[in-house]
Amino acid sequence: MSTTQVDTAVLGQILAQLESLQMTQQAMQVKLNNLSTPSSPPPVETKTLPNGNTTTPTNPTREKSLYPGRVLLTTYPSQHSITPYPLKWGASTPLLRGPIICSRLPSSLPFRNALGAHSGSYSIYRALSIAMGTLDPNYKPEYGMTEPPVEIRENPAWYDAKKIVSMDPWGHLVPSVFEREGREKEKGGLGLDIRPSISVTKAHIKLKEIDEAVKRGEIVIDGKIVLGSEPLRREDGSLVEGIDAGVEVNVSKAAVDPIWYLPGVAERFGIAESLLRRALFEDTGGMYPELITRPDINVFLPPIGGLTVYIFGNPAHIHDPSRMITVRVHDECNGSDVFGSDICTCKPYLTYAMEECIRTAQGRHPDQTDGSPGVGVVVYFRKEGRALGEVTKYLVYNLRKRTGDSASSYFRSTELVAGVKDMRFQALMPDVLHWLGISRIDNMVSMSDMKYDAIVGSGIEIRKRYDIPSYLIPPDSRVEIDAKIASGYFTKGKKVTQEELKNTVGRAWEEVEH
């Protein structure tokens, strides 16, 4: 053996010893943190600001009480104290699958089997509340009486590691099925912080557009799904005469936070899991180092918005092959959905889909010849501005209006600002449909080819598609709709050529006095 080979071997041994010493030190630090962390931080004094708000002054003592050890950027799978709770994605029961544990509290840190934090983007506000002293980081939520009032029935997709990869199918049942793991004093006298990622409830929703549909006779009050609203009252409590109070719609709804099974997500997008982890780490400013250092942990709770499901009619009808199912998958558009901006068709398409869902649930859809009640489903994703965000969306609006706002340059304007025309990537979208147990869709209220391809590609049959009626399209949104049709979006109407797009021009700012 040459001198160079000997030197290289010795150097390798030294480096291995240094790495072993570093990991041992980190493991000892974790143990020290667990021993030294109090059950709850000591109370701190607050002061009242001139505006009436209260604040906690910067206090090194409080910081030390919250975080008694040095900054722990990451853990490693071979550390002595790191023993993740077993988690098998796609198992046939929740207990075989195991609970999702992502808390970095010392009591749960050694047993974590997921990266990130609960509540998506709202986890930042939780961190701020802890720093301000308004929330005890060790507080365990009380989940008694929070169980779903309607059943989302278990189905085979729940234990298929390929069908559902972007949400926890057992997420709404966590307080009941994992009660022992979360509440009993185990694992060396430490309870585990296990939280639901889905909640299911009932509600009445009220929209002006539904009121108007009832007045036109397109929706009927049946006393079950559509109910008359309480009479309007003045400030003094007296009844307002001569004004129709409109209607309310009885719905079931579920809120879902995203939980990504990284091997399944990577496979869904056709990329290597290592590339997915590296991109999530690098392009979020290194937000989650353990995406790189903990390859043994396969579940990630991304800091993004989730989704809401609205079910019109009896949820059990979803599993009845004789019942009609009408579905719209809608991506958030705050400007239109909430504030009624007329530059796009988002709100009119959404409310039209709700009307179709109501008619289906009542058995009054034109294709329900036997009058049997069906079920309607609207899924509302938080993917504002095609997942580019509202800031980027408004920048694109400015570019469009300053350059003539022609349908021929509609997608190009977005690409110039964002570098891509759409970042929604609908590959993960069908997961929620599989969670609900939808195996076919009779009426798909959508023109999107991306959504259609993703749903059909996931194994769900779509029997009928239809686009937004032309009378619901605001004049200024004709630019958007014509550009989409020309790019391949579904329509039963006239196809639009690229040459004709030049003639579709939106309203200029100067046309209206602001």
Q: Count of CB atoms within 10 A of residue 42's CB?
A: 10
The Cα 338–Cα 329 span in angstroms is: 17
25-29, 52-56, 241-245, 434-438: which is most confident: 434-438
Q: How confident is the model at residue 225 (pLDDT cuts 50, 70, 90)?
A: very high
What is the rounded CA–CA span in Å between residue 188 and residue 11?
40
- pLDDT score of 458 more than 60: yes
How much is the average pLDDT of 383-403?
94
User: 251, 244 in Cβ contact below 8 A?
Assistant: no
Q: Give residue 29's pLDDT.
A: 47
pTM, 2 dp: 0.86
Averaged pLDDT of the chain: 87
Pairing verdict, β 325-331 and 226-228: unpaired
CA–CA gap between residue 202 and residue 50 (Å, rounded): 41
pLDDT tens digits, one per residue of 468-483:
998 999 999 999 999 9
Cα distance between residue 300 and residue 117, in whole Å: 8
pLDDT grade for 98, boundaries at 50, 70 and 90: very high
Distance between CA atoms of 448 and 426, rounded to whole angstroms? Answer: 10
The residues facing 307 across adjacent strands are 256, 381
Name every residue whose Cβ is closer than 8 Å to that of residue 235 and which is 6 or more positions away in sequence: none
Can you state the angle between helices 478-486 and 410-418, rounded to 10 degrees? 90
**294-320: pLDDT as tens digits:** 999 999 999 999 999 999 999 999 999
Say which residues have a Cβ less than 8 Å from residue 27's Cβ, sequence separation at least 6: 79, 80, 81, 82
**How far is residue 131's CA from residue 99's CA, in Å, rounded to a whole number?**
27
**Catalytic one of 195, 424, 465, 467:** 424
What is the enclosing helix (H) or strand (E) of 380? strand 375-381
Per residue in 25-62, pLDDT tens? 444 544 444 444 444 445 555 555 555 655 555 567 78
Q: Which of 257, 337, 405, 422 is catalytic?
A: 422
382: which 2 tokens? 């938080």
Which residue matches tokens 């309310």? 248
The dihedral formed by the CA atoms of 469, 474, 480 and 484, expressed in degrees to the nearest 10: 0
Residue 16's pLDDT band, with cuts at 50, 70 and 90, is low
Around 224, how many Cα atoms within 13 Å sit in the side-chain half-sphere?
A: 10
Backbone φ, ψ for residue 205 (5° rounding): -115, 150
Nearest partner of 356 among 249, 216, 482, 218, judged by Cα: 218
CB contact set of 154 (below 8 Å; sequence gap of 6+): 169
The per-residue pLDDT for 513 is 55
**Token pair of 264, please?**
């399944």
Q: Which amino acid is at 50?
A: P
For residue 58, what are the CA distances in angstroms to 11, 45, 128, 131, 433? Answer: 46, 11, 13, 9, 47
The string of DSSP codes covering 126-139 is HHHHHHHTSS-TTP
DSSP-assigned letter for residue 201: E
Spatial contact of 463 and 442, defined as CB atoms under 8 Å apart: yes
The whole-number pLDDT of residue 69 equals: 80
Whether 479 and 406 have beta carbons less than 8 Å apart is answered as yes
Residue 80 to residue 66: CA distance in whole angstroms: 24
Residues 381-418 as b/e (b if ≥16 CB within 10 A, e otherwise) read: bbbbbbbbeeebbebbbebbbeeebbbbbbbebbeebb
Q: DSSP E strands: which ranges in 286-354?
A: 299-301, 307-312, 325-331
The mean pLDDT of 452-459, rounded to a whole number, is: 97
φ, ψ for residue 508, nearest 5 deg: -85, 155
Q: Is 422 a catalytic residue?
A: yes
At 260, is the secondary structure helix, strand, or coil? strand
Q: How many CA atoms are closer than 13 Å to the CA of 93, on its beta-carbon side?
A: 4
pLDDT of residue 305: 94
| Residue 511 vs residue 513, higher pLDDT | 511
Distance (Å, whole) CA 188 – CA 31: 12
Closest listed residue to residue 90, CA positions, set 162, 170, 171, 159: 159
Spatial neighbors of 455 by CB under 8 A, at least 6 apart, are 329, 429, 430, 433, 441, 444, 462
